[in-house]
C-alpha cells in the first residue's frame, strides 16, 4: 500500500507526556477488576466496539487514557493512567478502502480526532481515536517486513523525517506502523518488546520497563504473544 505524506498544520500547543510512576499493573480479562490505583492495564473486552461503548467509556472515565488497541476480533485496549492528554470521547473506525485512507484520516484530524494506535483487520486497517485538543503536525501509516533489519531501517527513516512511532500491528505479511509528528519537539525514542501471553510475565516486564522510564504506548497481539510499543 502506498501512502502519500500529508501535513495538517495546527496551532495548538503540544502537551508533553510526563513519565509514569511505576506501580502495580497487570493483564486482566474482566474490566470490572481494574483497580483505581493501577497505572496501566491490558483489558480484553468481549464484543465489538459498538457493543462496548458504554463499558469502555466507564473505564476511561476513571482516569485511563487508551493508548494501545487490538482487534482479534474482540477489542483489547492498553490503558494508562495519564491526564496530560485530556479527551472527551473515543471511537474505533475501520478503513476498508486503501485509496480513501488518507482523506478519511485527515477528515478525522480536522474534526479533532487523534489516532492513538492501529490494528490490521480482515477488511483493512482499524484505528483507535480520541477526541482531544492535543494536536499533531502530520502522520503516516507504513508497512514493513517483520525482520529486525527491515524494521530498524523503517523506524530510522521515519525518525529522520521527524516522526515518532505511536502504534504497530502485526499480520501474516509483516508489521504496520502508525507514526505521527508531534508539534514542538524532536521524535521520541521508540522501543518494542514482546512477551508470551501470560499475565504474570507481562505484568513484571511492563513494570520493569516503567521503572526504566519507558511509557507503554501501543499494543499488538499475535501468535500467542503480546507486543508492546514503548516511548521515552
Which comes out higher in pLDDT, residue 116 or 32? Answer: 116
- 202 φ, ψ to 5°? -65, -45
What's this model's pTM, rounded to 2 decimal places?
0.81
Residue scoring higher pLDDT (50 or 78): 78
Give the pLDDT score at 147. Answer: 86
User: Are 170 and 37 spatial neighbours (Cβ–Cβ below 8 Å)?
Assistant: no
β-pair partners for 194: 227
How many CA atoms, within 13 angstroms, populate the side-chain half-sphere of residue 138?
A: 16
User: What's the pLDDT tens digit per position in 151-186?
Assistant: 889 989 999 999 999 999 998 779 999 999 998 778
43-62 pLDDT tens trace: 888 877 777 777 777 777 77
Q: Do 52 and 25 contact (CB within 8 A), yes or no?
A: no
Q: 24: helix, coil or strand? A: coil
Q: So what's the pLDDT on residue 7?
A: 21
Order of strands, sheet of 215-222, starting from the edge strand that comes earlier in the sequence: 190-196, 225-231, 215-222
Amino acid at each position: 500500500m502506498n501512502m502519500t505524506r500529508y501535513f495538517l498544520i495546527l496551532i495548538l500547543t503540544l502537551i508533553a507526556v510526563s513519565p509514569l510512576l511505576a506501580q502495580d499493573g497487570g493483564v486482566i480479562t474482566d474490566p470490572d477488576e481494574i483497580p483505581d490505583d493501577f497505572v496501566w492495564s491490558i483489558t480484553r473486552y468481549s464484543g465489538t466496539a459498538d457493543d462496548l461503548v458504554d463499558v469502555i467509556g466507564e473505564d476511561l472515565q476513571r482516569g485511563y487514557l487508551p493508548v494501545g488497541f487490538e482487534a482479534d476480533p474482540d477489542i483489547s485496549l492498553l490503558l494508562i493512567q495519564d491526564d496530560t492528554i485530556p479527551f472527551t470521547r473515543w471511537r474505533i473506525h475501520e478503513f476498508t478502502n486503501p485509496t480513501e485512507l488518507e482523506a478519511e484520516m485527515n477528515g478525522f484530524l480536522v474534526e479533532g480526532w487523534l489516532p492513538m494506535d492501529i490494528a490490521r483487520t480482515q477488511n483493512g486497517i482499524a484505528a483507535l481515536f480520541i477526541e482531544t485538543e492535543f494536536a499533531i503536525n502530520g502522520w503516516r501509516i507504513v508497512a514493513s517486513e517483520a525482520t529486525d533489519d527491515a524494521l530498524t531501517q523503517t523506524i530510522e527513516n521515519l525518525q529522520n523525517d521527524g516522526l515518532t512511532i505511536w502504534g504497530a500491528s502485526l499480520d501474516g505479511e509483516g508489521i504496520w506502523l502508525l507514526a505521527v509528528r508531534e508539534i514542538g519537539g524532536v521524535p521520541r525514542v521508540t522501543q518494542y518488546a514482546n512477551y508470551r501471553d501470560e499475565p504474570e510475565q507481562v505484568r513484571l516486564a511492563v513494570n520493569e520497563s516503567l521503572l526504566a522510564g519507558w511509557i507503554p504506548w501501543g499494543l499488538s497481539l499475535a501468535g500467542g504473544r503480546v507486543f508492546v510499543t514503548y516511548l521515552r
